[in-house]
């Protein structure tokens, strides 16, 4: 039995063990390669995660910048609208002031015309009353002619 064991052992050592060792080595190589690929995949995943985080940060910064620009533009538009509204209101106010002044001047002219008409009417009534008789009329005519002559001499 020892001899058969020795023969089997020699045959296995010569032909069987190298195949088994080769299979174990190839399996070990496959496992090592798989581990290396897993490490590379983890490293690549970490890089991708970092790149993604950087993109998210950049997008957040860009969003903040865009919002800030939008707010500045909104404030600028509001300021311009207020400015234009103030200018329009001032123009309307000036136009109303001019219209009020024109109406006031027209009212004053109308009042002066009415006062002049009333003055003439009153003067006419006073003259009619004072010049009711012929002697007073002649005296008035003489006085007027004297005044007219005095003003023509000067």
Q: Please report, in angstroms and rounded to a whole number, the separation of the first and last CA atoms in the chain.
A: 179
pLDDT tens, residue by residue, 67-125:
999 999 999 999 999 999 999 999 999 999 999 999 999 999 999 999 988 888 888 88
pLDDT for 154: 65
Six-digit token string for 90: 């001032």
Contact by Cβ (8 Å): 92, 98: no
Cβ neighbours around 134 below 10 Å, total: 8
Note the pTM of the prediction, 2 decimals: 0.45
Q: How far is Cα 105 from Cα 148, in angstroms, rounded to an integer?
A: 35
Q: How far is Cα 93 from Cα 85, in angstroms, rounded to an integer?
A: 12
């Amino acid at each position: 039995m020892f001899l058969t064991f020795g023969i089997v052992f020699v045959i296995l050592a010569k032909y069987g063990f190298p195949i088994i060792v080769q299979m174990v080595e190839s399996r070990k190589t496959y496992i090592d390669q798989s581990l290396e690929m897993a490490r590379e995949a983890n490293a690549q995943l970490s890089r991708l995660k970092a790149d993604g985080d950087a993109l998210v940060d950049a997008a957040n910064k860009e969003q903040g910048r865009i919002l800030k620009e939008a707010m500045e533009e909104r404030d600028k538009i509001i300021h311009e609208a207020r400015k234009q509204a103030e200018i329009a209101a001032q123009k309307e106010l000036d136009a109303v002031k001019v219209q009020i002044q024109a109406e006031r001047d027209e009212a004053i002219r109308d009042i002066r015309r009415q006062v002049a008409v009333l003055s003439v009417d009153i003067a006419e009534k006073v003259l009619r009353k004072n010049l009711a008789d012929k002697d007073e009329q002649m005296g008035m005519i003489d006085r007027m002619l004297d005044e007219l002559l005095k003003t023509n001499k000067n």
